[in-house]
Amino acid sequence: MTGTAFVIGASGQIGRQAVHALAADGWRVTAASRGGGSTEDWPPGVRTVRVDRSDTAALAAALGDGCDVLLDCVAYDGGDARQLLSLADRIGSAVVISSAAVYEDADGRSFDTQGEPDGFPRYPVPVPETQRTVAPGPATYGTRKVELERELLDAGGRLPTTLLRAGAVHGTHSPLPRELHFVKRVLDGRRVRVLAYGGTSRFHPVHTANIAELVRLAARRPGSRVLNAGDPGVPTVAEIGAAVDAVMGYRAETVLVDGPPPEPTVGNSPWGTARPVVLDMSAARRELGYRAVTTYERSLPATVAWLVDSLAHGDWRERFPLPARLSDEHADWFDYAAEDRWLAARAG
| pLDDT band with cut points at 50, 70 and 90 for residue 52 | very high
- pLDDT tops 80 at residue 86: yes
Position with higher pLDDT, 35 vs 177 = 177
Q: What's residue 39's pLDDT?
A: 59
Residue 287 to residues 64, 214, 220, 223, 295, Cα–Cα distance (Å) = 31, 11, 12, 10, 21
Evaluate whether 103 touches 121 at the Cβ level (below 8 Å): yes
Question: Where do the domains of the chain lie, and which CATH numbers do they carry?
Answer: 75-347 (3.40.50.720)
DSSP sequence for 32-98: EESS-PPPTTPPTT-EEEE--TT-HHHHHHHHTT-EEEEEESS--SHHHHHHHHHTGGGEEEEEEEE
The distance from CA 277 to its chain's CA centroid, rounded to whole angstroms, is 13
3-state secondary structure at position 326: helix
What is d(CA 52, CA 59) in angstroms, rounded to the nearest whole number? 7
- pLDDT tops 80 at residue 87: yes
3-state secondary structure at position 269: coil
Q: What's residue 344's pLDDT?
A: 96
- pLDDT tops 80 at residue 290: yes
Q: What's residue 41's pLDDT?
A: 77
191-250 tens-digit pLDDT: 999 999 999 999 999 999 999 999 999 999 999 999 999 999 999 999 999 999 999 999
DSSP type of residue 135: P
Evaluate whether 87 touches 63 at the Cβ level (below 8 Å): yes
- pLDDT tops 90 at residue 37: no
Q: H or E stretch including 214? A: helix 208-220
- pLDDT tops 90 at residue 331: no
Angle, vertex CA 54, rays to CA 15 and CA 92, nearest 5: 60
Q: Which of 54, 25, 20, 63 is nearest to 38 (CA)?
A: 20
139-196 tens-digit pLDDT: 999 999 999 999 999 999 999 999 999 999 999 999 999 999 999 999 999 999 999 9
What is d(CA 65, CA 90) in angstroms, rounded to the nearest whole number? 6
Longest dimension (CA), the chain: 72
What is d(CA 165, CA 10) in angstroms, rounded to the nearest whole number? 18
SS3 content of the chain, % helix, strand, coil (to 5): 40, 20, 40
Beta bridge partners of 33: 50
Angle, vertex CA 344, rays to CA 339 and CA 346, nearest 5: 95
Angle, vertex CA 256, rays to CA 253 and CA 257, nearest 5: 150
pTM of the complete model beyond 0.95 = yes
